[in-house]
Amino acid sequence: MTVQDTRTWELTVGEIVTEASRMAGLLAAEETLSAVQMTAGQKKLGRLIKSPAFASAITRGVTTVEVTTDGSAIEYTLDAGIVDIIGEGWFTADGEVSRNPVMQRDRKGFEMLQPSEDVTTEPTHFFVDRSDSPLVVHVWPGARVGVIRLPAHRQRADVTNANATLDLEQHWQDAIITALASEMMIAASLPMDRVGVVDSLAQRKKDEARQASGSRIPQRAVIGHKIPRAWR
């Protein structure tokens, strides 16, 4: 048996739009999309993967945000693509390598709106102001010079490049193609009975892809220690 070299093969954005158009019955097998049709399909695809229907499953990726503190400011604006901060943060002072005190997230943040008198100490808390766009992080006390690292959810990459691949796991491709085909059929005013068949298939494929993503969540490891009888 010969193993084919297809482990890393992925459809590009342009290929996904083309496949969806063919599934919708809007493009014959021997035809290609015009530049106008491709742009319209990419816009539909961009709205689809960032819509509420898909947002909880694929819109947010996980990354680490690094905020460089200047020793005086208590507010720092994050990149526009950051959706929210998840979990706790870590601070490393300038010139230090291994010391990373944990920063607790404050849910109210009222006391952090006032600057601390001492800006030479290490920050111990932070508050994320989600009313601002982009997000603003308030730290307390005022951080000395160093780097704050925060785990964050980010928006998925845009689909403006037809030659790029989607910023998500490969098993989402089929679900995306089917859902995009359903959107195209509705936009083209095709019969609703045909739309309903494709839409039902899209929902099933999305559920399957969601389950596949969920099955890859790391399991918590528990280490068993032998406890001396005298301590029991």
Per the prediction, the chain carries an average pLDDT of 80
Task: Answer yes or no: is pLDDT of 5 > 80.
Answer: no
First to last CA, the chain: 58
pTM of the model as a whole: 0.67
Domain boundaries defined on the chain: 13-50+156-212, 60-155
Task: Answer yes or no: is pLDDT of 101 > 70.
Answer: no
Of 103 and 183, the structure prediction assigns the larger pLDDT to 183
Convert 110-127 to b/e letters by CB count within 10 Å (16 or more is b): eebeeebeebeebbbbbb
Integer Cα distance of 230 and 82 in angstroms: 52
**How much is the pLDDT for 231?**
47
**Please, which residues bridge with residue 76 across strands?**
137
Query: What is the per-residue pLDDT across 31-86, written as a single tens digit (0 to 9) for each?
Result: 999 999 999 999 999 888 888 777 666 656 788 889 888 877 778 889 888 888 88
